[in-house]
Structure 1
Amino acid sequence: MDDGATENAFWRPCPNGVCYCDYRLTIRGCTTTDELRILTIVAAAWSGACIAAVLTWLYHRVAIRGQLVFEMHGWFPRPKPIESLMFFALFFNIARLIHSCILLTDQAPWPVFRLIVYDLGWQCGFAAFSCYFFGVAHTLAASSKTIYNAWIRNPERVDVLCVVFITIPFILPTIFNILTGVNASQGNNDSAIFFTKVNYYIWMCLAIFLGIFVFFAGVRLVKLLTSHMVTKANQRVNIMKIKAGATKVKLTVFFGCVCIWGLAFFSGLFATARYGIITNNVYVGLVSGVINFIGIAATTLILTVLVVEPGFVNSLSSWSLGSSSEARSHPSQYMMSNMGTTTLENSYHTMSMKKHTKAEATTDTFDEDTTLATGITTSDTDSRHNLMQPSNPSLRNYADQNNYEGSRQQQAQSPVSPRSPIAQQFSSHGMASFDESYQSATSKSSFERPKIATSPRMNHSPRLGGIDRSPRLMPVRPGSPSLGQVEEDRLHYNHAIGQLRLPANYVSPEDRRRQELDPLGQNHSRY
C-alpha cells in the first residue's frame, strides 16, 4: 500500500509532513507503526488461542455429545443458542487472525479486499449474537405456551426475521466497503470518506438494536429459569444445575452486550471523527486497541463461562446481575439432602400394593426411584451403600443409635423379636408385619435392601370425615425421622427464609398427636 501520494491520502494522511495510518488498511510508514505492530501481534496470538479453544469445545459438543448447530424446520434453519454462538465466534477469530497477518506482512495490497476482511470478523460476530437471540427465542417458545402466544405466534415469521437479521450485516457493509475501496484507489477521497461514514453509522444502528435484542432475550430466559427453580424446588430436580445455567446466561448476556454496545459506541465515534482519530497517536492507539481486543475478549470470557464447573459459576451469582430475592427461593444444603428422602416417601404414599408377595419386584422399584430422586447414577455396590447409610448427619446419628448397620446380621442370628404394637396393628388388618415383610423381601435377593413394609394411610382428613385405611407402600428406615418431622423441619425452614407455602402432604403437629392417640380412627369425630 505504498503507491503514490494521491492514493495514500485516504489511508495514510500526512499533514505537515507527518504521516499517520488508518489502522484498518495499513500499519506501516507512520509515526505509530511500532505501537500498532505490537497491538496487531498480540491480537493475532490471542485470536489463534481462541480458535484452538473454540474448536476443541465445538468438537466436544458436536462430535462427541451429538449436539447440533442448526436444526432445519421447513425451509429455514433454526440455530441452537450456544452452539451457533460459538460457531460464528470461531469464524470471527479466524477473520481477525487473517486481517492481522495481512497487516503484519503487508500482503494483498488492495483497499477493497482489506476493508472486506476487516469487517468480515464483525459480520461473523453479529451473526453469532443474532443466532443466540433467535435460538433463545425458540427455546422460550418451546418451553411455555403463554410465551409462544405472546411473543412468537408465527414461527415461520420469526425464522424469516432471523435469516434477514443475520444476512443484513453481510450485505450492507460489504457494499459500502467496495464503494469506499474503489473510490480510495481512484483518489476520490471525499466519496471514500462519505461511504465510510455511512458504513459505520449503519454498524452503530445495527449494534444498538442487536444489543437490545440480546439483553431482552437474556432477561426473559433468566426469568423463565428462576420461575422454574421456584416451581421445582420440592421435586426431583437438581436446583444447583438450573441456578448455574441461569448464572451462565446472565454472564453471557452481560459480556455480549458490553461487546456489542462498545462496538456501537466506537463505530459512531469513528464515523463522526475518523480523521481526528487517525491523526492523533493516543486516540488511534486507544481505538485500535479496543476494536482489536473487545471481540476476542468477549469470546474468551463467554467460552470460560461455558466450560467452568457449575459450583464455581454459582459462586458468582451473588454479583452477576442477580437479586437477593432469588436466594430465598432455593433450599439450603440440609434441605437438599433431605429432599430426596421426603420426595421418595411421598411418592410411595401414592402407590398401592395389590399383592404383598411381590416383595422382590417392589425392592427393585425402590432402588430405581432412589436413583431418580438423588439424580446420581452409581454402581450396585455404591447404590446399596448410599441407601443403607444416609448422607445427612442427623439421619446418620439416628442410624447409629439404633444399630442400623448390624440389623440384618442380628435378624439372621437371633430369633424373631416380639411384635411391636404397630406390628400387631398390621397383623389385625391382615397384613404382614415389619419383620416378616423384610424377611420375605430379602430372602430372594443377595443384595442388602432397605426395609419395606405396608401400613394403612392414617392421614387425618376432616373434609372426608374419616381415615383412608387402604394399604400403602412405605419405605421404613429404622431410627430415621418420620415424614411429619421432616415436613415440620421444612416448614420451619420456609418460615425462616420468608416463604409462605407449605410442604407437600403437610401434617400439622396436632393431627400427628391425634393419630398417635387414636391410630385407627375409632374415636374420630367430625368437626
Structure 2
Amino acid sequence: MADDSSVTIIRTFDRHCFDEVCHCDWRITLQNCEEHHAMYIINVINIIVSALGCIIGIGLLIYRVGMKGHRIWSPAGTVTGIIRPKPVDCSMVLFAVFNALRFITSLILITDVDPGNLLGRSVLYEVPWSIGLGGITVYLLGVSQAIAQSHSTLGWLPSPWIVDVAGIIALTLPTVGIFITIAAGSTIDSDQHVAEILTRINYGIWFIWTAGIGTAVLLAGIRLVRILRIHHRKLRQGSTDDAVRAGIFKIQVAIAAFTLCLYFFSFVLLLYGILRDLIMENTTGSIVLGAGWSLTAGITVLVVQISIIFSRNTTRNAALRSKKSTDESTDIDSSSGNSTRPDHEAGVGISTLGAVSTTFQNDNEAIMNALQTNYPQEQNYCLPASKKPNSSKYFRFGRKNTKRPISTTSSQMELSRYSD
C-alpha cells in the first residue's frame, strides 16, 4: 500500500485532486475530472428534457391563456386574499422559466464558458431551483385559495390573511439560499473553508424547506382528493362519472409527482450538505447523486405537463358538451317536466357545466358539477331565514367565520380549472 505522504493532494472549492486523479464539483465545472464523461452525458440529457419542458410549457400557456382565456392571476374581488395564483397557469410560467435556466446552466457546463467565474456559475446553478420550487408553491397556494372559496370545505383552511402570510414566506424564503450562495462564491478565493461551510448551511436550509413544502403538498392533496371522492360517491351521474374520475386522477398525478420530487430532492440535499467532500471524492456516488439531482425536477415537470395535456374523448361524454347544446337540452327537459339534472332539482337552475363555456369543456369541470350539486348552501334556499346557518359565529384563529358568497359560475369553476 502506498504511503499517504507520497500522494500530492490539491484541494480547491470546485476540485479535489489526488496526484493525477481529480474529482470535480459538477454543479460548477465538468472539465478534467473523473466524472467528466458521465456528467457530460447527463447534462446533454438535461438539455433535451429542459428544452422539451420549456416548449411544452410555452405551448400550454399559449393555448390556455391566449386561446382559452385563462388568467395567470385571479383578479381582485373574485377570490379573497392577496396571493391569488391560478394554480396550473401560474406554475406553468415558473416551470417554463425554470426549464429555460436549467437549459442554459447545462449548456454553459458542457461548453465550459467563462470557467474562472465560479461565483457566476454558482448563482446560475442555484437560481433555477428557487424558481422551480416557487412553481410548486404557487400550485399549492392556488389550490388552497380555490378550496377556501368552497362552501363545502369551510373551516378546513385558516383565515385568508394567514394563507397570504404563509404564501409570501413560502415564495420568498428560498431566495435566502441565493444570497448565501453569493456570499459563499465571494469567499471562494479569500477563505475556501468559509465558502464550504456556507454551502453546507445553504443545502441544510434547502433540505428543511423542500421537505416542508413536500409535506404541505402531500397533506393538501390527500385532503382535496378525499373531498372530491366523497362528493363523487354522493353523486354518480352516468354521463359524468368517467370525467370526474379522470379529473381526480390528474390531481393525483400532479400531487404524487410534486411530493416524490420534493422528498427525493430534500434527501439529496441533506446528503450533499453533510457529505459533500466524501461525495465529491467517490466517482460512482457523485455520478449517481448528480444524475438524480440534475434530471428529477425536469422529468417531474414533464409528467405534470403530460397529465394536463391528456384528455379523454369528449364526443361520448355528455358532461363535456358546449354551452349551446347543454342549454338546449335543459330547455327541452324543463318544458317536458322530466328534468333529471341535480342542479334543477336543487332549485339552482342551469348547470354550471352548461354556463361556463361555449367550447367543449374538459373532465375536470365535471368534478365541479359533482361538488356543486351537493353544496350545503343550495339546501338553505328551502329553509326559513330564522333557521339558516349563522355565518357570524367565531371559530378558528379567533376571527369571524367569513361569509362565503353565493356560488357563481366563476367561483365554482375556480377549483376545477386548476388542472384543466
Same fold judged by TM-score > 0.5? Answer: yes
Deviations 1:168-208 (A, max 9, x none): 102x101210121112132x221111111100011100011
Aligned residue among 141, 148, 157 for 1:151: 157
Structure 2 counterparts to residues 413-492 of structure 1, below 5 A = none
Choose from 159, 166, 169 the match for 1:164. 169
- 2:333 and 2:339 in contact (8 A); partners too: no
**Residue equivalent to 2:108:** 102
Q: Please report how far the alpha carbon of residue 8 of structure 1 lies from its aligned counterpart in structure 2 after TM superposition.
A: 6.8
Q: Equivalent residue for 1:257?
A: 259
**Of residues 80, 83, 90 in structure 2, which corresponds to 1:84?**
90
CA distance in 2, matches of 1:258, 1:174: 24
CA distance in 2, matches of 1:77, 1:110: 37
Which of these residues, 206, 209, 224, is aligned with residue 212 of structure 2?
209
Shift in CA distance, 346/282, structure 1 to aligned 2, threshold 3 Å: farther
Residues 10, 17 of structure 2: 8 Å contact kept:
no
Q: 1:302 to 1:296 in 2, by over 3 A?
A: same
Q: Is contact 1:78-1:135 (8 Å) kept?
A: yes
CA drift at 1:35: 1.6
Distance in 2, matches of 1:27 and 1:377, equals 51
**Could you list the per-position Cα deviations for residues 74-123 of structure 1 after superposition, in whole angstroms to 9, with x for gaps in the alignment?**
88341111112222111111111111111122223322211111111111
Aligned partners of 2:293 and 2:335: how far apart in 1? Answer: 58
Distance 1:203 1:218 in 2: 22
The secondary structure found in structure 2 opposite 1:30 is coil
CA distance in 2, matches of 1:197, 1:32: 21
**Deviation string, structure 1 residues 10-53 (Cα, Å, up to 9, x no partner):** 10111244211101110001122122111111111221111111
SS for the counterpart of 2:44 is helix
Q: In the alignment, is residue 178 of structure 1 matched against residue 182 of structure 2?
A: yes
What is the CA–CA distance in structure 2 between the aligned matches of 1:101 and 1:248, rounded to whole Å?
Answer: 33
1:233 to 230, 233, 236: 236
Distance 1:12 1:240, change over 3 A: same
Kept in 2, the 8 Å contact 1:92–1:121? The answer is: yes
Q: Distance in 2 between matches of 1:72 and 1:346?
A: 38
Q: Deviations over 1:486-512 (max 9, x none)?
A: xxxxxxxxxxxxxxxxxxxxxxxxxxx
Distance in 1 (alpha carbons) for counterparts of 2:283 and 2:210: 27
1:229–1:242 contact (8 Å) kept in structure 2: yes
Instruction: Give the secondary-structure state (helix, strand or coil) at the position aligned to 1:13.
Output: strand
Q: Which residue of 2 aligns with 1:114?
A: 121
Which has the greater radius of gyration?
A: 1
CA contact (8 A) 2:83 2:141 kept: no
Q: What SS does the corresponding residue of 1:310 show, helix, strand or coil?
A: coil
Match of 1:246 among 243, 248, 256: 248
8 Å Cα contact 1:88/1:128 also seen in 2: yes
Match of 1:138 in 2: 145
Corresponding position: 1:294 with 2:296 = yes
Partner of 1:286: helix, strand, or coil? helix
Q: Counterparts in 2 of 1:281-360, with a 5 A limit? A: 281-310=283-312, 344=333, 348=337
Tell which deviates more after alignment, 100-109 or 88-97: 100-109
- Change in 2 beyond 3 A, CA 1:73/1:15: farther
Say yes or no: does 1:31 pair with 2:34.
yes
Q: Which residue pairs with 2:49 in the alignment?
A: 46
CA deviation string 1:388-431 (max 9, x = no partner): xxxxxxxxxxxxxxxxxxxxxxxxxxxxxxxxxxxxxxxxxxxx
| 1:61 positional shift | 0.5
CA shift in 2, pair 1:29/1:350, >3 Å: closer
Say whether the 8 Å CA contact 1:111–1:185 is kept in structure 2.
no
Q: TM-score, normalised by structure 2?
A: 0.70
1:7–1:175: structure 2 CA closer, same or farther, 3 Å change rule? farther
In 2, the alpha carbon distance for the partners of 1:141 and 1:148 equals: 7
Give distance in 2, aligned partners of 1:251 and 1:104.
33
> How far apart, CA to CA, are the structure 1 residues paired with 2:239 and 2:169?
38
CA contact (8 A) 2:46 2:103 kept: yes
Residue matched to 1:12 = 15
Q: Against the structure 1 CA distance between its residues 347 and 251, is the aligned structure 2 distance closer, same or farther, given a 3 Å change threshold? A: farther
2:221–2:252 CA contact under 8 A, matched in 1: yes
1:67-82 → structure 2 map (5 Å cutoff): 67-73=70-76, 76-82=82-88
* Residue type of the alignment partner of 1:249: I
Secondary structure class of the residue paired with 1:119: helix
Q: For residue 178 of structure 1, what is the amino acid of its counterpart?
A: I
Change (3 A) 1:238 1:273: same
User: 5+ unaligned residues in a row in structure 1: which ranges?
Assistant: 313-339, 352-367, 379-527
CA 150–68 in structure 1, closer or farther in 2 if over 3 Å, else same: same
Aligned 8 A contact 2:10 2:18 in 1: no
Counterpart residue type for residue 76 of structure 1: I
Measured after TM superposition, the shift of residue 288 of structure 1 is: 0.9
Shift of 1:292: 0.9
Q: Count residues in correspondence.
A: 323
> What corresponds to 1:198 in structure 2?
201
CA, structure 1 residues 17+376, in 2 after alignment: closer, same or farther (shift >3 Å)?
closer
Q: Distance in 1 between matches of 2:181 and 2:93?
A: 25
For residues 460-504 of structure 1, what are the alpha-carbon distances to aligned partners after superposition, in whole Å with 9 as ceiling and x for unaligned? xxxxxxxxxxxxxxxxxxxxxxxxxxxxxxxxxxxxxxxxxxxxx
Residue correspondence of structure 1 range 390-429 to structure 2 within 5 A: none
Tell me how far 1:143 sits from its aligned partner: 1.5
Secondary structure, counterpart of 1:14 in structure 2 = strand
Q: 1:42 to 1:139 in 2, by over 3 A?
A: same
Q: Which amino acid aligns with 2:137?
A: S
Preserved CA contact (<8 Å) 1:115 1:177: yes
Q: 1:219 to 1:91 in 2, by over 3 A?
A: same
State the identity %.
23
